[in-house]
Amino acid sequence: MSRQGYNPLSRRAGRTRRLRLTAAAFLLLFAALLGPSPAVADPLQRFLKKVTPSDLLPGAEAFGARVGEQAVVPLLKGGQKVGYGFLNSDFVNAAGYSGKPIHVMLGLDLEGRITGVVLVDHKEPIVLIGIPEKKIRDVIEGYIDLDVPAFARSATADRDVDIVSGATVTIMVIDDSVRRAALKVARRLRLGGLEPEVEASGPRWAINQDLKQISDWETLAGDGSVRRLRLSLADINAAFADSGDAVAAARPEQGDPQEDFIDLYTAVVSIPSVGVSLLGEAEYGNLLKTLSDGQAAIAVMAKGRYSFKGSGYVRGGIFDRFQVVQGDESLRFRDRDHKRLGEVAAQGAPDFKEVDLFYVPESLAFDAAQGWRLELLVARATGPTQKAFLTFDLTYAPPQKYLTEIAAPAPVAEGDAAGRSGQELLLWQRLWRDKLPEVVVLVAALGLLTGIFFVQDWLTKRPRLTEYLRVGFLIFTLFGLGFYANAQLSVVNAMAFFNALITGFRWEYFLMEPLIFILWSSVAVSMLFWGRGAFCGWLCPFGALQELLNRIAKRCKIPQIPVPWWLHQRLWPIKYILFLLLFGASLYSLDMAERLAEVEPFKTAIILKFQRGWPFVLFAVALLAIGLFIERFYCRYLCPLGAALAIPGRMRMFDWLKRYRECGSPCQRCAGECMVGAIHPEGHINPNECLSCLHCQTLYHDDRRCPVMIQQRLKRERRAALASQNLPPRGKAKPEKKDLELADFLPG
């Protein structure tokens, strides 16, 4: 037998021509993507196509021309202006549970009253799957007739919000963004007697970074460095009684009326004197290493019966019980902006139940030298799935002693102002800057994986090192890319990409998720070299979860169920059928396709970490349970993303996996040990199914398991023995005899 490797695919006629055609098609597509993208409308123009003028203001007949540089269009009736239409996300931060904006079209009449509210687009998973969207639409209709000038004139304006159980964050974002966007537009257009906000005359202030004095708790609380909101059980019960909700009032908190419901404190710890006093020198030093220039951080401390954090941030990554409001801007913190602290370092500080640090994202405008308030949301159950909500404000203003006067900014030329405004619109750049550490780690991991593939011939000759590298990389993929960074690709991404190509491609949309963009870029490049295997076998968190669980199952002696080849051939096309169905649905409605894409358990298992409704959890757990007995069951037969990658993966131009002429006839060892059944009985590796795990290549070089290598090793040993004139006794050669029995590698 010869060791000379060969590729069975060379038998196929026209292979070279096919590779050239597919490579040319890929390069043309890649060039098209890198070339100028077609002109597309801005968000306002795009979403105006989803509504009619009468949706935003009853009786309106047409949209007018855009109002100057404002993202506002007049609403016309009989050719006369009767109001204005605009998009909430053009004016305020409207990011919801998903981290993406919730887009709502609004109409205002000339008196500043909201006349129409239409939910035009969102990516909220809890609404896409689980909660009927009609419930959300019913809630937002309640904003019609809201008097925006009255809301602006009263800091304690009625904020009764009809929260939908299970969608608290979504409703809060809609409520906040609708009110604040309407207020901004009404001020800019001088509706209802409102005037545009003007910069206050007089001195301008900034935090004095050179002042760092350590103070005790009594001093900090006394001079306003730390602000307090205390609510006793009597206070909270009285507030619900005054709310007019009889059911909530009938369910008071039980206990001593003077017991603390919550004793809440807050402070800006990026002010040096406050930070070093509350955090201590060491923790304040760590804070300085974390913050960028001008970035602020807030400490929130509390004791009592009620938690200002709750547990929602663990499930969804967002703190839904409080928000920070400064001017017309609001901020809700996500888990990545949060750090739990053990205690307050200031001498004489109370013993708090919760002490937490929150970093204000650099992408948001927050001036630590200006006043702000913390809005606390308190919920009370009024039924099995219903709750009543109240908000309480804790205001904060930095003491004057921490401020230093700064000179007024020089007038900005009109051209410079336009340039700066354009820079502020590049949100994706700020997101990349915020995720720079994760980007560096991912790029390094991709570099390592690329190196593994390029030196795979050297690496697979060292099976133990190969095994350690693979298991280590899978652990990184699962816990680093998956559970920590939520960088799980989905067939939804592929459908959204194709949809963008046919409706108007914009790089900015895909650049909003740095890690997802990098992963997709690496997948596109790897198609030329290795097909789908680089992602499916190494970079898919759910795939890593399946494989690691199956390895544990094998260690626990859980029996593995071999799938007969005839059945395997009939099952693996299922994933292609699922992909084609989803792809067809996406051409009709991308939203519908996203709902159908729940056939992927990725969102449940990786993104939401099993914190979902029981049907979704049961589905994901069932797939993982089957995977304990049939390795990579979901990848083999059901994954539409794998099918989507396998189709263009056929354009790969290189065949890295080596085979012998004896592979498949008579030896079946590689085919029997392939974890996804990608090796045909005749020895051919199906590139559409191969996950590039490199196991067959370790066998290819193993002179203890591969029959070809075993025979070559024996020949070498015999030649060495003859050359040394020191032949071993016959009895010592017998143990090697089993190595020559090829029947061990045949089926059965």
**Residues 481 and 488 sit within 8 Å (Cβ to Cβ):** yes
How confident is the model at residue 329, as a pLDDT?
74
How confident is the model at residue 485, as a pLDDT?
84
pLDDT bracket for residue 164 (50, 70, 90) = very low
**Residues 295 and 275 sit within 8 Å (Cβ to Cβ):** no
Check whether 468 has a pLDDT greater than 80.
Answer: yes
Q: Mapping DSSP to helix (H, G, I), strand (E, B) and coil, where does residue 215 land? A: coil
Q: How many CB atoms lie within 10 A of CB 111?
A: 14
Residues 183, 189, 193, 196, Cα dihedral to 10°: 70
Give me the chain's average pLDDT, please: 80
Phi–psi pair at 112, nearest 5 degrees: 85, 25
Beta bridge partners of 375: 323, 393
Of residues 429 and 190, the one with the higher pLDDT is 190
CA 263 to chain centre: 34
Q: What is the pLDDT of residues 589-622, one digit of tens each?
A: 766 777 788 889 988 888 878 877 788 889 999 9
Q: What is the pLDDT of residues 288-347, one digit of tens each?
A: 988 888 889 999 999 999 999 876 555 446 787 898 988 767 788 877 788 889 889 999
Q: For the sheet with 387-396, list strands across it.
A: 329-331, 322-326, 372-381, 387-396
**Residues 456 and 658 sit within 8 Å (Cβ to Cβ):** no
d(CA 659, CA 674): 14
**Residues 68 and 306 sit within 8 Å (Cβ to Cβ):** no
Reduced DSSP (H G I as helix, E B as strand, rest coil) percent helix, strand, coil of the chain, to 5: 50, 15, 35
How confident is the model at residue 442, as a pLDDT?
94
Phi–psi pair at 219, nearest 5 degrees: -65, -45
- What global pTM score does this model have? 0.54
Check whether 12 has a pLDDT greater than 90.
Answer: no
How confident is the model at residue 29, as a pLDDT?
42
d(CA 582, CA 588): 10
Beta bridge partners of 567: none
How confident is the model at residue 1, as a pLDDT?
37
**Residues 101 and 182 sit within 8 Å (Cβ to Cβ):** no
Q: What is the pLDDT of residues 59-107, one digit of tens each?
A: 999 999 888 777 899 999 988 999 999 998 888 877 765 556 788 999 9
List Cα–Cα distances, 712 to 2, 400, 633, 665, 699, in angstroms: 9, 85, 36, 18, 14
By mean pLDDT, which of 157-171, 359-373, 584-598, 697-711 is the weakest? 157-171
How confident is the model at residue 546, as a pLDDT?
94
**Residues 108 and 114 sit within 8 Å (Cβ to Cβ):** yes
Check whether 216 has a pLDDT greater than 90.
Answer: yes
How confident is the model at residue 33, as a pLDDT?
39
